[in-house]
Amino acid sequence: MSVTNDLFGHPPPAVVKAAPPKKKKRPEITPEIIAAFEAWWEHYPVHNGKKDALRAFADVYPEIVDLQTLIDGADRYAAFLRAHPDRQPKWPQGWLHGERWTDRLDGTPRSASASRGASFARAGAFFRDRR
């Protein structure tokens, strides 16, 4: 096999295959995690996808967040949904993976057109001020 050099006499670069990304090992679901999950599950307002929710719970508890913080967040989220019945609720695994217990739920309803209008206004002001 002959190697063809470029115009400057340099050999072609070596082809290096990237290693496939390593899969994150899921934590073992222990009886302690199951008990904590069941306590949290009673507070979370949506009871769909329990198996996936348990896996997501094991991903965050106890390494990332403690049980009381999760319960408090679930209670705040349940109150928010009661105050805003028109809102589509998050399924538990999405809420956990998204670390939604950190959300600030101020009770003001989101309006797509209002937020879009505010975004356009900010962008217009930004470009206007750059002149």
Which 3-state string (H, E, C) describes 71-112?
Answer: HHHHHHHHHHHHHCCCCCCCCHHHHHHCCHHHCCCCCCCCCH
From the list 100, 76, 103, 93, the residue with the least C-alpha distance to 37 is 93
Residue 38 has a pLDDT of: 98
* Cβ pair 59, 26 in contact under 8 A: yes
Residue 115 has a pLDDT of: 45
Which tokens is 121 given?
């206004």
Residue 124 has a pLDDT of: 61
- CA dist 28 and 54 (Å) reads 11
For the chain, the structural domain boundaries read 31-105
Residue type, 9: G
Residue 111 has a pLDDT of: 46
Which tokens is 93 given?
């695994």
Low-confidence ranges of the chain (pLDDT < 70): 1-3, 15-16, 107-131
- How far from chain centre, in Å, is Cα 66? 17
Task: Tell me how crowded residue 56 is: count the other CB atoms within 10 A of its CB.
Answer: 20
